[in-house]
Structure 1
Amino acid sequence: MYTGFQHLHSGIAYIVLAVLLFSFIYALINFLQKKPFNEKVRKASLAGLIAVHLQLLIGLVLYVISPLGLSNFSGEAMGDAMSRLYMLEHPLTMIIGIILITVGYSKAKRGTGDATRYKKLLIYYGVGIALILLRIPWSVWPPIGS
């Protein structure tokens, strides 16, 4: 079960990043072209939101069942960089990034004025994406297609 969730979490991560980057770039292009914040932009940003929330659910299950996650939580593991990454840094940074993306979507959805809605979406999604990219364990990511 652990290995299955590990492969699922790693494999879906590529799709999640692609959807998230697409939603950000789509909003950025529309903002720069001064297009109205319409239903297509909202749905594209919603797709990014749904993707990261799905990844979060899979990641939380993996965190509980993984020997590198919750069961590894100790002072001794904090001394090892890789253990600390899996036990604390990766999950915490991802959760903060996902919270920012969620807040950005909510603020953009409820905002007034197209430019304001785009700015809120781009700022929150941008910082959220940056945090997510910062704490992905790139050294252990499987190459696409493996």
Structure 2
Amino acid sequence: MYQTVQFIHSYWAYLVLAVLVIATINSLAGFFSKKEYGAKDMRLALFTLITMHLQLLIGLVLWFASPNGMSALGQEGTMSNSTSRQLALEHPLLMIIAVVLITVGYSKHKKQRLSTPKFKKLAIFYTLGLIAVLAIIPWAQWL
């Protein structure tokens, strides 16, 4: 089970990252060009939110099933080893923060009536979420 979940988590991450980059660029472009917020923009923001939440659920299952996840926190030396600490604590924590940022951004943008504030909320929170994701991806294991 562990290897299957790890495979899904790793390959779903490519889709998540691609969609997040596209949604962030779209929201920044919409904000700076003052374009009208449309159905395509809403669908892209929602699809990004959904893929991020699915990745979070897969990641939580992996964290509980993995020997590098929750069980590693109780082992001696995990916090002194940077790779172990990243997999057991830093990666899950910062990814949860990224999902929260994207969720807050999506929720706040829905409350706006005009296009520019909608794009502004999405641009701010999706950009912060993207930075968090890019900062904590375990690149050595992922590529």
Cα distance between partner residues in 2 of 1:108 and 1:115: 10
Instruction: Give unmatched runs, 5+ long, in structure 1.
Output: none
1:6 counterpart residue number: 6
Cα distance between partner residues in 2 of 1:108 and 1:31: 12
Cα distance between partner residues in 2 of 1:14 and 1:105: 21
Amino acid in structure 2 at the alignment position of 1:29: A
Offset, 1:30: 2.2
Offset, 1:32: 2.4
2:139 counterpart residue number: 138
Structure 1 residue matching 2:78: 3-state secondary structure: helix
Cα distance between partner residues in 1 of 2:128 and 2:109: 15
Cα distance between partner residues in 2 of 1:30 and 1:140: 35
Identity of aligned residues (%): 46
Offset, 1:80: 0.6
Offset, 1:60: 0.3
Amino acid in structure 2 at the alignment position of 1:44: L
The structure whose RCO (Cα within 8 Å, separation 6+) is larger is 2
1:43 counterpart residue number: 43
Number of residue pairs aligned between Structure 1 and Structure 2: 142
1:115 counterpart residue number: 116
1:34 counterpart residue number: 34
Amino acid in structure 2 at the alignment position of 1:81: S
Cα distance between partner residues in 1 of 2:110 and 2:40: 12
Offset, 1:24: 1.3
Offset, 1:23: 1.3
Report if the CA contact (8 A) 2:31-2:123 is conserved. Answer: no
Cα distance between partner residues in 1 of 2:81 and 2:24: 35
Instruction: Give unmatched runs, 5+ long, in structure 2.
Output: none
Amino acid in structure 1 at the alignment position of 2:110: K
Cα distance between partner residues in 2 of 1:56 and 1:124: 17
Amino acid in structure 2 at the alignment position of 1:7: F
TM-score of the superposed pair, with normalisation by structure 2: 0.94
Verify: 1:73 aligned to 2:73, yes or no. yes
Moved over 3 A (4+): none
Q: CA RMSD in A?
A: 1.1
Q: Which string of whole-angstrom CA distances, capped at 9 and with x for unpartnered residues, describes residues 33-53 of structure 1?
A: 211122221111111111110
Cα distance between partner residues in 2 of 1:131 and 1:81: 18
2:56 counterpart residue number: 56
